[in-house]
Structure 1
Amino acid sequence: MIEDFLQQFLPSTVGGLAIGAIYALVALGYTMVYGVLRLINFAHSEIFMIGSYAALGLITVVGVSAPLTGIALFGLLLAAIIVSALVAGGSAVLLEAIAYRPLRKRGAPRLAALISAIGASLFLQELFALFVIPNVFHRPGRIDTAVPRIVSRDVLFNIGNAEIRTDQVIVVLAAVVVMILLDQLVARTRIGRGIRATAQDPEAAVLMGVNIDTIVRLTFLLGGAMAGVAGVLYAMEFENLRFNIGFILGIKAFTAAVLGGIGNIRGALLGGVLLGLVENWGAIFFGSQWKDVIAFLILVIVLLFRPTGILGESLQKARA
């Protein structure tokens, strides 16, 4: 078994980095909303699903029939990221206005918001299964939807016995660029200062002139946009979508956020990458069918022994 692990270590590491980058992007939405509102937005997984279908819609409109290269590929990916980020971010803002803001204005307990999140999640799943996918994409709502291949699976280079493919490089690079941009936005801009101030002390932030409602909307917008980018990368990498794809992936992204330290942006990035790696390494020993079990076991262990996560730092302490 040790020999198998050593033989498959590098290929599993490459695959773990690719899926871990997607986990990290989705985890950012969980950690930002929790940092500002102390709310676990379990409907965030459906925002990811909406972003992935927005990417499919653009690919369908463009009419891609074969893998692209060069400027054509860069242009399509950039357009897909922008469209998916806007659609997913807008959906997240709408979700906040309908499912959370009325409860927040009335001072409802957090349990009410959690129940509302679960209800919104189920509603969005069934909306896509019964209406959007059959009528907009003209596919059966509860059957997997294939995504046309837009990126070749050519091997760019090798590291030991690991083959590094084009699609894997694009996923990791795109995720890293987007995550760095978000980190710098929160750490260095006026919007970021407002988000950090609201996370640290909402009452004091109001006295300093911060509009809490605007900050909450921006937080949902940014978190939703990250999920939209993740949706593009997921659709490109796995070439297969379903109305409930966000369910398991969303729980894993939440696990990544808790693992890194929920409320901490860099913790979400670290947690996502670590979860992707540990999942793939564990699959060498136990088989790929145990990947989900490994992720949930990690969540239980973290909650038992280090509930604050690896970094365990709140959003408001992000470096200025």
Structure 2
Amino acid sequence: MLKRLRERMTPTDVVMWFIGAAILTLVIWGSTATLSEGKFSSHHWFDFIIFGLAQGSIYALIAMGYTMVYGILRMINFAHSEVFMSGPYTAYYVAAAVYSSGFLDRQPIVSLIIIFLVSMATSTFIAILLERIAYRPLRTAPRLVPLITSIGASFFLQYTFRGLYGSGFQAYPVVKILEGEWMLGEFRILKFQAVVIIAAALLMAALYSFIQRTRIGKAIRAVSEDKETSSLMGINIDRMIVTTFVSA
């Protein structure tokens, strides 16, 4: 097994593992030094961990979509974060509308579902449009061409949404059922942080099951490995790529 692992590892893999080990060592060393100085109590450390998990869960979901697109197209999609941004920015105005009408207070669960659906639908539409207009015509072009195109698409989406919604800070209305905190013994966890962590974990598990256990997921993995062979086996390449963009 070790021999097979050595054969599969490239010099780039070795460098990345070394960098990762160095970063991990620095984090452990810094954490140990901070703990020994006693600057923070156990409650502070628990808050730091929960905050890190909540923020990291969001970044992990974005990263999973990013790697899915790269895996099937072998292209760095610099516009991926803008696609993610388009949904929440659009859904903000839906949230403001249901809040001003009082519907958010009367039916918070239904309101949240509507907001989530609008957000996902917007991001999905932008992703499909981006793939169809910007990336599909360049699929057989040299790798530098779609790379530059994705940078241009990133700037285009940034300034489009800046023109539509402005560049100022926008805060979502407060949902009463997500206010407050839960106590875990002597430690507290904010409700919205717990919801973010649990939702992210469920979405990751669902995406993993979709890719590993469904026919579409297996087709996506096949296209990622070899597009020509997958096409000969009857797999619709364009459909699988669009499905990947939608899932991501």
Report the TM-score, using the length of structure 2 for normalisation: 0.78
Measure how far apart 1:172 and its partner are. 1.2
Sequence identity, in percent? 43
Aligned to 2:60: 24
Aligned to 1:116: 149
Aligned to 2:118: 83
Measure how far apart 1:64 and its partner are. 5.1
Secondary structure of the corresponding residue to residue 224 of structure 2? helix
Structure 1 residues 111, 63: CA separation in 2 closer, same or farther (over 3 Å shift)? same
Measure how far apart 1:158 and its partner are. 3.2
Secondary structure of the corresponding residue to residue 68 of structure 2? helix
Give CA deviations for 1:62-96 in whole Å, capped at 9, x if unaligned.
12588968x93332222222221121011101011
The answer to whether residue 161 in structure 2 is matched with residue 128 in structure 1 is yes
Aligned to 1:100: 135
Give CA deviations for 1:174-225 in whole Å, capped at 9, x if unaligned.
21222222111111111111101101111110110001111111100111xx
2:82 counterpart letter in structure 1: E
| 1:102-251 matches, cutoff 5 A | 102-104=137-139, 107-130=140-163, 132-133=164-165, 141-151=166-176, 152-160=178-186, 162-223=187-248
Aligned to 2:16: none
**Structure number, greater radius of gyration:** 2
Measure how far apart 1:113 and its partner are. 0.9
2:142 counterpart letter in structure 1: P
Aligned to 1:40: 76
Q: Which runs of 5+ in 2 are unaligned?
A: 1-33
For 2:93 and 2:69, locate their aligned partners in 1 and report how far apart those are by CA, in whole Å.
Answer: 27
Q: Is the deviation greater in 214-223 or in 3-12?
A: 3-12
Q: Which runs of 5+ in 1 are unaligned?
A: 134-140, 224-320
For 1:36 and 1:208, locate their aligned partners in 2 and report how far apart those are by CA, in whole Å.
Answer: 17
Measure how far apart 1:117 and its partner are. 0.7
For 1:26 and 1:78, locate their aligned partners in 2 and report how far apart those are by CA, in whole Å.
Answer: 20
Aligned residues between the structures: 211
Contact 1:67–1:150 under 8 Å retained in 2? no
